[in-house]
Amino acid sequence: MNAQTNSRLIRIPGMINAHSHAFHRVLRGRTHERSAASVSHGTDNFWTWREQMYAAASYLSPQAYEQLATAVFAEMVTCGWTAVGEFHYVHRGLNEPGGTGLSDPLAMEEAIIRAAYAAGIRMTLLDTCYLQGGLSATGKAIPLNEVQTRFSDGTADSWLRRRSQLRERVYQLNAELAPSGGAPLVTLGAAVHSVRAVPRKELERIGAELEPGAVLHAHVSEQPAENEACLAAYGMTPVELLSSAGLLSPTFSAVHATHLTEHDIELLGASQSIVVMCPTTEADLADGIGPARELADAGAVIALGTDQHASIDPYLEMRGLEYGERLATGQRGRFQPAELMEAAVAGGAKSLGMPSYGLNPVTGDYVLVDTESIRTFGSRDDQLPLTATSADVHKVVINDQLVATNGVHATLGSVDELYCAFMTDNPEFQ
C-alpha cells in the first residue's frame, strides 16, 4: 500500500447515466420466479416482467414517488453517477383517464425534480409521450390498459402543451431549489416511449414541433416482437420509421437498439445518433446483445444507462458492454477501457445535452476511485473499467459539492435506510 493517504485514489470525471426509470428499482430481486403470467405464456421474458412493472406503476403517488426516487438517485450518486436521464412517463393520477387525478397536473414531474435536488444529482428530465397501448402482431393499435392511462396525454399536441407548462415549472423549481450561487441541476428533455406507443403521424408532429436542439430519446427495437409489429403496421423497422419521421439526428438517442438490421445500423451511424446501451438490464430481461461495436464503427455514439436498475453500478455497465461483445463474437478487446469510459462520460453527456469535457475531469463533477482495493489492487489505472466496482468509489462531487463518501450520502445518510423508510411508509410496495 502506498504510504501517502491519498496516493491510492485517482480522480475521474463524473459518470453519466443516460437512461433511468426510477420506479423500476422496486422490482430488483422480486421478478425472478415463474409467475402465473409466465406459466400462461409458456416462458418468463420481457413481456411477463412488464406486467409486474405495471403493477408497481399503479401504486405510485407523487409523495411515494418523490421518496422512492430520492433513494434511487442517492444510490446512483454513491455509486459514482453524477448525472441521470430520467425517462419519465407516469404522468397522471391513479386510474383517471379523463383527467390528471391530481390537484396539480405536474405533481409527478415535480416529485422527480425535488428528488434529484435532494440527492444532489444532475438530471435531464426526459418527459415522455405515450399515446397507445402498443401494436398487435398484425400492426393494429392496441388501446391503453388501465395502468397505461396514467402515462398518456391523449395526443402529441396535448403532450407538447403539457411539456411547455413543465418547462416553466422546471425553471421555477431550479430557482427555488438550486443552492445559493450554484448552477441549476435540472434541464428538460423529451422522449417518445417507442414506436409501439406513439403512432407515425404523432411522431411526425413531434419532429416538426419540438424545439431545435432538444434532446429526444426513444426505446428502439428492444424486442423482436416490436420489430415484427412495426413491420406489420408500417412496412419498415422502428429505426426506419423514426428516420422517415425526421427524428434521427445527433440529438436523438435510441435506447437499447438490440435487434437491428444492417440498414438500421447504417441509419443510426449516418445520422450520428446516440445509442444508449443498458447491459445489466438487457441481460436481466433476456433482451439480447445489441450490435454495439458495429454501431460505433458506423458513426453512432455509445452511451450507458441503468434502465430498470437490476444494478446501479457504472462499472458493471461498462464491463457488461464489453463482455456482451466478447460473448457474441468470441473476441476480446472489442471496446478498449478508454472507450468504455468514453461511453460512461462523454457519450452520456451528449445523450443528455450536457456539456462534454471528454475524459478530462476539469468540471465540478468528479469521482475519486480507490486503486488499491481487493478488486483493483495491481490494476493499471487505465484498466479500472474492467476491475473496479461502485464499492471502490471513495468520494463523489457534483456541482462542486461533496455528495457522497464511501457509499454514504453526505446529507441523506445511509441509502438502505432511505429504502427501508420508503417501504415502511408505502406497504403496498412490499
Q: Which pLDDT does position 137 carry in this prediction?
A: 87
Catalytic option among 19, 88, 91, 256? 256
| DSSP E strand stretches across 195-327 | 216-220, 252-256, 274-277, 301-304
Q: Is 138 within the bounds of a domain?
A: yes
> Does 100 reside within a domain?
no
pLDDT in tens, 386-412: 999 999 999 999 999 999 999 999 999
Residue 179 has pLDDT above 60, yes or no: yes
Domains contained in the chain, number: 1
Give the separation between CA 353 and CA 123, rounded to whole angstroms.
10
Instruction: Please give the pLDDT value at position 52.
Output: 81
In this structure, the number of other CB atoms found within 10 A of the CB of residue 358 comes to: 12
Closest CA to 294 of 268, 327, 256: 268
Q: Which helix (H) or strand (E) holds 224?
A: helix 224-234
339 found inside a domain: yes
Tell me the one-letter amino acid at 112.
I
User: Domain for residue 127, yes or no?
Assistant: yes
Strand pairing class (393-398; 366-370): antiparallel
Whether 38 is covered by a domain: the verdict is no
Q: In the prediction, which pLDDT does 4 show?
A: 37
From 127, 153, 284, 307, the catalytic residue: 307
Q: For 185-228, write each residue's pLDDT tens digit.
A: 999 999 999 999 999 999 999 999 999 999 999 999 999 999 99
Give me the CATH number covering residue 54: 3.20.20.140
Q: Tally Cβ neighbours within 10 Å of residue 361.
A: 18
Helix, strand or coil, per DSSP, at residue 110: helix
Measuring CA to CA, which residue among 154, 135, 235, 148 is closest to residue 195? 135
Question: Which alpha helices (DSSP H) does 9-155 contain, by range?
Answer: 36-41, 46-57, 62-79, 107-119
Cβ atoms within 10 Å, residue 333: 10
The pLDDT, as a whole number, for residue 50 is 73
Task: Provide the 10 A C-beta neighbour count for residue 283.
Answer: 18
* pLDDT in the model for residue 358: 55
Biggest alpha carbon distance in the chain? 68
349-361 pLDDT, tens per residue? 999 999 865 555 4
Say how far residue 28 (Cα) sits from the centre of its chain.
Answer: 15
In a domain, 39, yes or no: no
Cell of 29: 430481486
Among candidate residues 412, 390, 416, the one with its CA nearest the CA of residue 403? 412
Classify residue 84: in a domain, yes or no. yes
Q: Tens digit of pLDDT for each residue in 245-286? A: 999 999 999 999 999 999 999 999 999 999 999 999 999 999
307 is catalytic: yes
Alpha-carbon gap, residue 215 to 312, rounded angstroms? 23
Assigned domain for 82 exists: yes
Tell me which residue range forms the domain holding 68.
9-31+48-95+107-429
